[in-house]
Amino acid sequence: MKPTHLKNALGRRAGRSVGRTALGAAMLGSAGLLPVLAQAGTMREQVEAYQAQLSARHGGPVQDAQPEVVGGKPAKDGRWPFMASLMEKRIADNFDSRFCGASLISKRDILTAAHCITLTGATAKNTQVLVGTQDLTQGGRRINIASITVHPDWNEDTTDSDVAVIRLTEEVNDIEPVAFATTLKEENKHAATGKPTWGMGWGSTQSNPPYPEKLLNVRLPIVDREVCNSSDSYDGAITNTMLCAGFKEGGKDTCGGDSGGPLVAKDSSGEFRLQVGVVSWGIGCAQPDLYGVYSRLAVLGPWVKDQVAKP
């Protein structure tokens, strides 16, 4: 379920296959990726091509840049009602058109990863949002988009501020939006090191079939920032706008195709209904010491909240 450096449209979220050394110096360097993206067809293929190229460019295996929720299992029906998916409008079949995850954060607003927008050329005209289902073969409905706003500090070279807010053309009144963190106090309480979270998505499983029809989810503990930034892991590439989750031994992770989807922690009532991260990037998927990297809503949440508040 985890994108690989920008885990979604690109492989593991576009990333996750970045090499551990000199990672901070040109993590994405998009200039060399443009020819690859230009040759890709669907938005999903553009994301995968980017992730694969990114992985190879930073010394990671290309095959690890495939979207998926690794080590997860099918989510119980209705467990994650706020889960949404970005769809390529020209492709009618939901299974074939899905290219990134997302979450419903208000009746008219959707949260996703910035790279899902900028690296695929997604616009209000060529993209829709699927809500109301955990099964890509049945149920749910597609809604048109009124506008898309990418975080002004989004940086393709460092993957900083990897969030975007989508305003829908109509309200979703039959689904409860997910609450999201906006302060460090909330993170310290609900997403401190070792606290449990759930990641989810329809990304590849690197098995047969490669992509699931039903939503997969995986339980992951929050990882200490110093551990994630150590020389054994991301070697200083984890910035203040990023949050890590996963296991030292690997085996479970979000992956390519999961980009833009939510990482949720327990709220004050003990329910997993507080979004603390957005699937962003990583090196490979479920690899030892290479944890999943998520956009950190304790830092980016105030900007997201401002977008939701706009008329």
| Residue 161: active-site member | no
Contact (Cβ atoms closer than 8 angstroms) between residue 145 and residue 129? yes
Contact (Cβ atoms closer than 8 angstroms) between residue 12 and residue 285? yes
Dist CA 203 CA 211 (whole Å)? 6
| pLDDT number for residue 282 | 86
**CA distances from residue 280 to 11, 143, 181, 238, 309 in whole angstroms, order as listed:** 11, 24, 16, 12, 24
Residue 129 phi/psi, 5-degree rounding, is -120, 130
Domain count, the chain: 1
Catalytic pick among 58, 115, 151, 190: 115
| pLDDT number for residue 205 | 57
| pLDDT number for residue 296 | 98
Contact (Cβ atoms closer than 8 angstroms) between residue 23 and residue 281? no
pTM: 0.84
Q: Which residue has the tokens 């898309």?
A: 148
Q: What is the CATH number for 85?
A: 2.40.10.10
For 145, the 3-state DSSP assignment is: strand
| Residue 207: active-site member | no
* Neighbour tally for 251: CB within 10 Å: 13
| Residue 85: active-site member | no
Range of the domain at 154: 1-311
Catalytic pick among 162, 253, 258, 289: 162
List of the chain residues with pLDDT < 50: 1-5, 8-39, 57-58, 62-68
Contact (Cβ atoms closer than 8 angstroms) between residue 254 and residue 3? yes
Catalytic pick among 97, 161, 233, 259: 259
Q: Where are the alpha helices (DSSP H) in the chain?
A: 34-39, 43-57, 94-97, 114-118, 184-190, 225-228, 297-309
| pLDDT number for residue 225 | 95
| pLDDT tens, position by position, 279-306 | 998 887 888 898 999 999 999 999 999 9
